[in-house]
Amino acid sequence: MPVELDSNQRKKAMDKATWWGLIVNLLLSIGKLVIGYIGHSQALIADGLHSLSDLVSDGMVLLATHHSNIDADEDHPYGHARYETFATITLAVLLSAVGIGIGIDAINRLMDYENIAVPTQITLVIAGLSIVSKEILYQYTMLVARRVKSKLLEANAWHHRSDAISSIVVFAGIAGAIWGYPILDSVAAIVVALMICKIGWDLGHQSFQELVDTGLGHETLDAMEKTILSIDGVNQMHMLRTRRMGHSALADVHILVSPTISVSEGHQISEAVEMSLIKQFDEVNDVTVHIDPEDDEHTENSCKHLPLRADVMNYLTAHWKDIPETRELLHTTLHYLDGSVNIELVLPLKIIQSGKNTDELNQQIEKATKKLECIGSVTILYK
């Protein structure tokens, strides 16, 4: 079972992976741009711009990592994870812009294909070196991203992989151009541009879904529902809602419990639901559980309009003034169910011991109590 990292450990792991990417991308972008220009390879120059966008994205990741791992505070009670989301969208826009620019330039060169220069051998070597280094960087960054559960770092890893794949296309294009088909260098540049735009779209779409609070997938929701219903004391559940926030997910749910249990037992059941969801679903780190004594999603008679205890007791006290036994009331329990207030009264046992006719007393109390329209059933106990 993987060890849970705290915010500081998570930040250090993300920073280390990002700094390695930044150093490699700096060297590759300089090498590709210089050698691509000297060696007459438009595809390698395009790949160099791709690596340069990686360099910028690494800087954004470092900035976002710093902010997103700051603990929750008064102004950000849910933490700062959305910094990762914002940075990922910015990275997606950057990728798309780079891809479009590369594509337009390659198409313009194709229109003048007779003057396309043949790349030199050294460009092939740089493209091959890029493939190997970027794939190693992808594997390392993805490993760290999964360990710290960071979508932003995962996005950056895929950015490294896209650079590795684009370098393969560039390698093939340069090789074809050297072997007598110079047009393939520009074709390779167009393919790289399309790949960059596709990755930008995928990253942007995913992060935008997070910003508009898109919930977790149906399979995950079904599994969460089974977990909730397996908890002892949960009779039904409804209104299960989830949303992502950076590397984590938030959930809230209504659970139906017996209406006669104590408040503390209902709270204990909700705690069990929360702990089970957090334990069984790695991405879930915050759960809000609403306790319902009845299904408030489909019930026809809502209790929202009913008066609270103080108003109910003030009304009843006024109507019990002719019943002296009610002044000895030990406890009153109110049950808000099916649009009514069901009342449970506890009177002292000495009333029975005194020889008082309890049937007559109960009828008198019930008659006075039900003058309040919202009162449903009346139960009288002696203790």
**225-292 and 309-382: same fold?**
yes
Q: What is the mean pLDDT of residues 222-235?
A: 94
Domain 309-382 falls in which CATH fold?
Alpha-Beta Plaits (3.30.70)
Predicted pLDDT of residue 232: 94
User: What are residue 347's DSSP bridge partners?
Assistant: 382
Give the orientation angle of helix 121-148 with respect to helix 42-68, to 10 degrees: 20
| Whether this model's pTM surpasses 0.85 | no
Q: What is the mean pLDDT of residues 125-151?
A: 87
| Residue 2 pLDDT > 50 | no
Question: Letter for the amino acid at 125?
Answer: V
pLDDT above 70 covers a percentage of the chain that reads: 84
333's tokens = 């329990």
At 257-295, the pLDDT tens digits run 998 888 899 999 999 999 999 888 877 878 999 999 887
At 90-100, the pLDDT tens digits run 778 877 887 88
Predicted pLDDT of residue 201: 84
**What is the distance, to the nearest Å, from the Cα of residue 326 to the centroid of all Cα atoms in its chain?**
54
Residue of 197 and 256 predicted with greater confidence: 256
Nearest CA to 79 out of 130, 3, 11 is that of: 11
99's tokens = 């891809």
Whether the Cβ atoms of residue 98 and residue 265 lie closer than 8 Å to each other: no
* Three-class secondary structure assignment of 7-23: HHHHHHHHHHHHHHHHH
At 82-121, the pLDDT tens digits run 666 777 777 788 778 878 877 887 787 777 666 666 788 8
CATH number of 7-211: 1.20.1510.10
Q: What is the mean pLDDT of residues 174-197?
A: 81
Q: What is the mean pLDDT of residues 16-35?
A: 85
Cα distances (Å, whole numbers) of residue 250 to 23, 79, 223, 242, 367: 35, 12, 15, 6, 49
Predicted pLDDT of residue 112: 65
Average confidence score pLDDT of the chain: 82
* Three-class secondary structure assignment of 53-78: HHHHHHHHHHHHHHHHCCCCCCCCCC
At 332-356, the pLDDT tens digits run 999 988 889 999 999 999 988 888 8
CATH number of 225-292: 3.30.70.1350
At 139-153, the pLDDT tens digits run 998 998 888 877 667
Q: In the block, which residue shows the tokens 């995928």?
A: 202
Task: Report domain extents, the chain.
Answer: 7-211, 225-292, 309-382
Predicted pLDDT of residue 291: 92
Whether the Cβ atoms of residue 200 and residue 95 lie closer than 8 Å to each other: yes
Predicted pLDDT of residue 383: 87
Alpha-carbon span 328 to 379, nearest angstrom: 16
Q: What is the mean pLDDT of residues 119-127?
A: 86
